[in-house]
Amino acid sequence: MTEEEWLQDTDPDGWLDPEIALAFGTRKLRLACVACCRRVSHLLTAECSTAMQVAEAFADARASEEQLRTARKAASDSASGLEANQYDACVAVGYLAAGDIHSNAHVICNSLARAVWVKGPERKAERVAHMNALREIFGNPFRPVHFDPAWRTDTALAIARQMYESREFGAAPILADALQDAGCEDADLLNHLRDPHAAHVRGCWALDLVLGKA
């Protein structure tokens, strides 16, 4: 698969094939799936909402495998008897809370696309959103940005940590200013943080570079 396909694709299915998905880091792939699941939060049972939160915490080593298993079982049990869109959304979260995210990412996104499906255009739009989430989290894997540790000043770190923990990304342009003040002139990095149309999520490739997360 090529760089042009990565930048232009509107459907993530090929990229989430279990063998191809192995090229993606486990933490970031799970966070990408979390970002996609959050799009259907209104369809989730309380147990599934909790499982989504536990899966996100697990990605950052803030929850144990036992907690993940417990959350998955509760989510799966809560999905019993549900119908249509809500069932598909909860099924996706059940797979999100499974241990092997590389094998399950494509199932998660397919279930989420079904969960919002009413007519063809809705499903297609959701697939586009999933592909955008992958690009938001992985950036351009064909042209990775080489981050200079000298750019990781106390100010930049404080802004980045606050954004990451709060999931509030309005300070992204301020973070770009802090990085530039520290000597960063990488256009891809600065432009992404300053892009008013960027849909930042936890795991954002630019934010992860500042925080030193893989």
Do the beta carbons of residue 111 and residue 85 sit within 8 Å? no
Return the half-sphere exposure (C-beta side, CA atoms, 13 A cut-off) of residue 203: 24
Question: What percentage of the chain exceeds 70 in pLDDT?
Answer: 98
Q: How far apart are the first and last CA of the chain?
A: 22
Residues 6+ apart with CB under 8 A from 191: none
pLDDT the model gives residue 47: 97
pLDDT digits (tens, 9 = 90+) for 59-115: 999 999 999 999 999 999 998 888 889 999 999 999 999 989 999 999 999 999 989
What CA–CA distance (Å, rounded) separates 126 from 112? Answer: 8
pLDDT the model gives residue 121: 67
pLDDT the model gives residue 139: 96
pLDDT digits (tens, 9 = 90+) for 121-138: 677 889 999 999 999 999
Do the beta carbons of residue 30 and residue 68 sit within 8 Å? no
What CA–CA distance (Å, rounded) separates 192 from 136? Answer: 9
What is residue 118's DSSP assignment? Answer: S
What are the structure tokens assigned to 113, written together?
């696309």
